[in-house]
Amino acid sequence: MNKRFFLWAVVLCTLSAAAHQPGLAQWKPLFNGKDLSGWKQLNGKAKYTIERGEIVGTTVFGEPNSFLATERDYGDFVLELEYKVDSTMNSGVQFRSLSKPDYQAGRVHGYQFEIDPSRRRWTGGIYDEARRDWLYPMDLNPAAKAAFKQGQWNKLRVECIGNHIRTFVNGVPAAYVIDDVTPSGFIALQVHSIGNKADEGRQIRWRNIRIQTEGLKQHPSDNIFVVNLLPNQLSEQEQKNGVSLLWDGKTTTGWRGAHKPAFPAKGWEIKNGELNVQPSGGAESQNGGDIITEKQYSAFVLQFDFKLSEGANSGVKYFVTEKEQSGASAIGLEYQVLDDAKHPDAKLGAANNRTLASLYDLIPSNREPRARRKIGEWNRGMVVVYPNNRVEHWLNGWKVLEYQRGTPLYDALVARSKYAQWQAFGMAPSGHILLQDHGDKVSYRSIKIKELKPGDEPQCNCQ
């Protein structure tokens, strides 16, 4: 045996042994390049064909969303594939998804890796198909919007390990969601429905579809925004990103009554990880009254979940200084928390500026119906205040308004509002966060904050 042949034999034996070691991550193809063995079509009747070792999805007018789904379900895995999409076509890749007769007559629902070649550029975002809508729109990670390459083959990577779900576009970290609603389900290639006959025949192509299910390792921590849907919990990456719990889910630590030295003795209840305003017949603050953080904040990302009872009114205020008071309530900029359909305050003010997620009595929120949940369901609210005084309100994954404190427009809005009587309203350099007791049953949980510093403005203004 010559020396070169012997060395090659050693290398091949080593590689073969490594490939069969238990727990070592191995790639397995999901598509054989020849036929659709192992796949089944669900819901719509878009065309799925095979060309040059690629799966080709073609739109058909009049059909609902169509899905080519794996016959097998997958729980923990790493999925990779390449895709090339028509520049006018929306699509996606489902994962941990389901189709059950008792859910909307078998409609496919579950997590989706968004493929969005439009100017919005939300490719890589995580959408909850036919269920909760957007979990992670790419406005939460605008730096990753540039990763998608128009008119070219792009590489998708999805990591599902336990409750951690991550997406990547051409190697760039895109979305990060922590959620436990669906631990396992099929993978599916979507051809989106079309509303215009002229769009019939648009195509998306997929190739090199492969999966790992053993020996998985989570991607190393980075600094992208995390949407953690597990109540009152912080992930390791959130903590590294500077996020902390503003309420610990168990005690009154860090909070007290507005204009009071201690937390109210009545009117608020902590139960099952929820901070509940107790109803008092709709009389504002006649029970426990508003509560505020002991600490003050100047620039921050504030996240909170809230659940409304029928006809309820509350609010989350920021830049509260306790120097001013209106009746029983402390004064500050307010993210409105309201049942728009049943509470009369929604009809007051100007141009709907007292509706859910509005900057109360100043700026109305975007009336995007998909951002709204049914009464009794949990909502995700967020207020972002940048060091340059730009402010955003978010509702269930949608940015519903933005403004900048101290501009002539802001001053004009204040001058025509109920706040005109207070000098420099909302312009304090720092203030408390406040949860309002308006006499109605409202629940809060998962209250988190990240303090921002100069230079923490968005990396790009990608809309």
Does the residue 235 lie in any domain?
A: no
Q: Are residues 95 and 170 in the same domain?
A: yes
Residues 78-106: tens digit of each pLDDT: 999 999 999 989 999 999 999 999 999 99
Q: Which position has the higher pLDDT, 367 or 339?
A: 339
Question: Do 375 and 444 belong to one domain?
Answer: yes
The tens digit of pLDDT for each residue in 190-213 reads 999 998 999 999 999 999 999 999
Domain presence at residue 276 = yes
Same domain? 263 vs 190: no
Boundary-marking domain end, from 212, 229, 257: 212
Is 193 found in the same domain as 65? Answer: yes
Q: What is the pLDDT of residues 261-312, one digit of tens each?
A: 999 999 999 999 999 999 987 556 567 899 999 999 999 999 999 999 999 9
Q: Based on the domain organization, do 95 and 202 belong to the same domain? A: yes
- Residue 1 inside a domain? The answer is no
What is the number of structural domains in the chain?
A: 2
**Last residue of some domain: 165, 196, 212?**
212
Q: What whole-number percentage of the chain has pLDDT above 90?
A: 85
Residue whose C-alpha is closest to residue 390's, from 332, 454, 434: 454
* DSSP letter (8 states) at residue 411: H
Q: Where are the alpha helices (DSSP H) in 191-350?
A: 236-240
Regarding beta strands 66-70 and 186-191, do their DSSP bridges make them parallel or antiparallel, or are they unpaired?
antiparallel
Percent of the chain clearing pLDDT 70 (strictly above): 91
User: Which residues share a beta bridge with 175?
Assistant: 167
Residue 191 lies in a domain: yes
CATH number for the domain harbouring residue 160: 2.60.120.560
In this structure, the answer to whether residues 77 and 189 fall within a common structural domain is yes
Residue with tokens 């390449």: 82
Range of the domain at 410: 242-451
Q: What's the predicted TM-score (pTM) here?
A: 0.90
Domain-embedded: residue 457 = no
150 in any annotated domain: yes
- Domain check: are 256 and 171 in the same one? no
Q: Identify whether 17 is part of a domain.
A: no
Per-residue pLDDT at 327: 62
Q: Do 205 and 110 share a structural domain?
A: yes
Q: How far is residue 153's CA from residue 317's CA, in Å, rounded to a whole number?
A: 46
11 domain residue, yes or no: no
Residues 84 and 142 grouped into a single domain: yes
Condensed to tens digits (0 to 9), the pLDDT of residues 4-33 reads: 444 444 434 444 444 444 445 699 999 999
